[in-house]
Amino acid sequence: MKKADARSRINELRLVISHHNHQYHVQDKPEVPDAEYDRLFRELSQLESQFPDLISDDSPTQRVGAKPLKQFAEIEHRIPMLSLGNVFNEDEMKAFYQRVLDRLNIQEINFSAEAKLDGLAISLLYEQGKLIRAATRGDGQQGEDVTLNARTIKSIPLRLIGNDYPSVIEIRGEVIMDKQDFMAFNEKQKISDSKIFANPRNAAAGSLRQLDPTETAKRPLSFMSYGIGYYSDDVQFESHSEILDRILTWGLPVTTERRRVSTVDECIGFYHEISKKRADLKYEIDGVVFKVDALKFQKIMGFISRAPRWAIAYKFPPEEEITKVVDIEIQVGRTGALTPVARLMPVFVGGVTVTNATLHNYDEVQRKDVRAGDTVIVRRAGDVIPEVVSVIKNKRPAQSKAFCMPQNCPDCGSAVFRSEDEAVFRCSGGLFCPSQCIQSIIHFASRRAMNIEGLGDKLVEQLYREGLVKNVADLFELNLEQLSSLERMGDKSAQNLIDALEKSKHTKLDKFLYGLGIREVGESTARALADYFGTLELIMNASNDDLLAVSDVGPVVAENILAFFKESHNREIITRLQTHNIRWPENIKTADTSLSGKTFVLTGTLLNMTRDDARNKLLGLGAKVSNSVSKNTDYVIVGDSPGSKAEKAEKLGVVILDEKAFESLLSSI
């Protein structure tokens, strides 16, 4: 066959095979028997083998073929992959619905209602219709590059169908394993004496994270879309429902269990309808997601911390089981909080075997009257920590004793105290307490903080008990000889940890702040501090008034921050960390301007810049940006479809600027 004829036939076969892949894996409507499909595939493979220079990476034959990876690379999401807030009953759902109406100042609104898939979230980046990259959710800001593995999933097209898609688009969804496929897969694992997975979600996650793509290809994975992230502006969308419809035409599957609903009664009705279907669906779901349908309203609603205001997950009732409490022990956290934990007779609930359950605090233990030896109902909802729901009193042993909190820390012997305004008891030992030290190091090394790969809980405890690490700065003084001498730590593992420590030195200011473990300074607050001040030095030397100017900081948090940086040993540890060349890009603020110290509030949708862009410009000019309007507000910037903030500003006599006036103000600085 001549090369020109081969090229023509190869292109024809690729189109035909891609069509049959779509019909089989997405539409679930195969048009040809397996034997015919196999014949077409063999013909394409033979032609590509005969003319290797005609092979392209989006050919159906190229789904598997890459070498195994040593590790996954990290990818920064252009738009963060956020989590969803949850509701668990009708009253909470009604409250969410009303919050949306109130924020938008309307009487009724359309939602896109969809079954919530229980899989592993990933994003697929297509450029000019071609699959370029796939990444896991990760921590929401950064995920792992799983492109080679995603290419092995037949329901993920290597090239989009049609030509009405944006030139660049990120399609988001879940990698799942169907219930029947999961059961068959686990049977094979059992026969080969390989790992047995607890549920389809774990099996899907473990399969997608195989370093060898050929191993992933052997797993029965599929993909289902739930929306999009970043996309170029050469194509526009009006609603989320439209997006899902378009995704389907491009060759990607979307759940059939979806509907556009309006009233809160329709929302609740759809939830109950899906709940009844749940057991009969071929894939696992754990609730129903409701998203404000109109994209213009989504923009107005915005986000809070790690979740959008315009969407909610109405979760199914959590799974429950009966077991016995073997004992009640105390765990000491990094802030000294003493948490009672029930040690349980192992029980399979919520897809995993549970041996421990939180009792939250002493008041909760008293309220439920949980005792060692009790028969209890244990609940586990999704990835939430298992908890004891209630005690079956008629099965209580005759000699049982009520639980009492210890007067001294079980780990260091220091006195235990309880503040009047807190429900928790705390150890007074501070960094003298081994548990607090260990937990502070574990927190510092965690993925959402410094992300020191390979430094797990047990290894941190081992390093502490061996006297090699007493605080976070000690981590960066470890050497290969010390680590190699540890039990169950070979030369290779030791070198991997040294490499991970070195890699973690390149971080971000907000992650470093969060890793320090300042009480009540979570990820959102750490990011707000980093964005507002720009440098660690400014944060460390900030006054109470300076801190209160940050939108996410209140009086209690400000007091905690001041107390932390007042302690000389905390400053000493930070200095030691800096000598080890831990660094991040700093957003150094410009000199004082006429806007310095002025407080701005942004409301509505800006046409020529995003709210974040406007906020960053103001912060760079020394202004403060608040989320609420008060008598101390200097300016309110009003975009399209403003909310109640504009009305409040008018009542208070605050200066209101439209976008054009705002741009003029910026250009005059």
Looking at residue 318, its pLDDT comes to 66
Q: Residue ranges of the domains in the chain?
A: 3-62, 85-89+102-313, 319-417, 433-504, 509-579, 599-667
Q: Say which CATH class 3-62 falls into.
A: mainly alpha
Give the pLDDT band of residue 523 (cuts 50, 70, 90): confident
Q: Whole-angstrom Cα distance, residue 139 to residue 309?
A: 19
Query: Chain-centre distance of CA 555, in angstroms?
Result: 28
Interatomic CA distance for residues 181 and 627, integer angstroms: 48
Q: Which residue has the higher pLDDT, 611 or 599?
A: 599
The total number of residues written for the chain in this structure? 669
pTM as predicted: 0.61
- Percent above pLDDT 90 for the chain: 57
Q: What angle do helix axes 90-104 and 264-277 make, rounded to 10 degrees?
A: 140
**Highest-scoring range by mean pLDDT, 48-57, 270-279, 305-314, 494-503:** 494-503
* Average pLDDT, rounded, for the chain: 89
How many Cβ atoms are within 10 Å of 383's Cβ, its own excluded? 10
Instruction: Provide the CATH number for the domain formed by 433-504 in this structure.
Output: 1.10.150.20
Sign for the pseudo-dihedral over CA of 368, 371, 377, 383: positive
Among the residue ranges 15-24, 145-154, 247-256, the one predicted with the least confidence is 15-24
Rounded CA gap, 542 and 527, in Å? 16
Q: Angle between the 555-566 and 568-579 helix axes, to the nearest 10 degrees?
A: 70
Q: What is the pLDDT of residue 35?
A: 65
- Find the range with the poorest average confidence among 73-87, 126-140, 579-593: 579-593
Q: Are 564 and 570 in contact (CB under 8 A)?
A: yes
Q: What is the mean pLDDT of residues 184-204?
A: 85
- Rounded Cα distance between 110 and 261, Å, is 6
Q: Which fold has domain 85-89+102-313?
A: D-amino Acid Aminotransferase; Chain A, domain 1 (3.30.470)
Are 55 and 13 within 8 A, CB to CB?
A: no
134 vs 666, higher pLDDT? 134
- Asked if pLDDT for residue 241 goes beyond 80, the answer is yes
Which pLDDT does position 248 carry in this prediction?
95
The pLDDT, as a whole number, for residue 135 is: 94
230 in helix, strand or coil? Answer: strand
What are φ and ψ of residue 186, in 5° steps? -65, -35
With respect to CATH, is domain 509-579 assigned 1.10.150.20? Answer: yes
Give the pLDDT mean for 140-150. 91
Residue 637: CB partners within 8 Å, gap ≥ 6? 600, 601, 602, 603, 606, 614, 657, 658, 659, 662
Tell me what the mean pLDDT of segment 334-360 comes to: 90
First to last CA, the chain: 71
> What is the SS3 assignment for 22?
helix
Closest C-alpha to 40, from 64, 12, 63: 12
At 488 the pLDDT is: 84
Fold designation for 599-667: Rossmann fold (3.40.50)
What is the mean predicted confidence (pLDDT) over 66-90? 82
Stretch 206-224: mean pLDDT: 92
Instruction: Please name the fold of domain 319-417.
Output: OB fold (Dihydrolipoamide Acetyltransferase, E2P) (2.40.50)
Distance CA 118, CA 124 (A): 18
Rounded-to-5 percentages of helix, strand, coil across the chain: 40, 20, 40
| pLDDT tops 90 at residue 462 | yes
Return the H-helix or E-strand segment holding 655: strand 655-658
Mean pLDDT computed over 299-310? 86
Q: What is the pLDDT of residues 389-407, one digit of tens each?
A: 889 998 999 999 999 999 9
- The pLDDT of 654-661, averaged and rounded, is 91
Domains 85-89+102-313 and 509-579 fall in the same CATH topology: no
pLDDT of 569 > 90? The answer is no
Q: How much is the average pLDDT of 354-381?
A: 91
- Which residues lie below 8 Å from residue 127, measured CB to CB, with a gap of 6+? 167, 168
Q: Is the pLDDT of residue 381 over 70?
A: no
Q: How confident is the model at residue 477 (pLDDT cuts 50, 70, 90)?
A: very high
- The answer on pLDDT for 239 being more than 60 is yes
Task: Report the catalytic residues.
Answer: 116
The answer to whether residue 382 scores a pLDDT higher than 80 is: no
Q: Which residue has the higher pLDDT, 666 or 463?
A: 463
pLDDT tens profile 17-47: 888 877 765 565 667 766 677 778 889 988 9
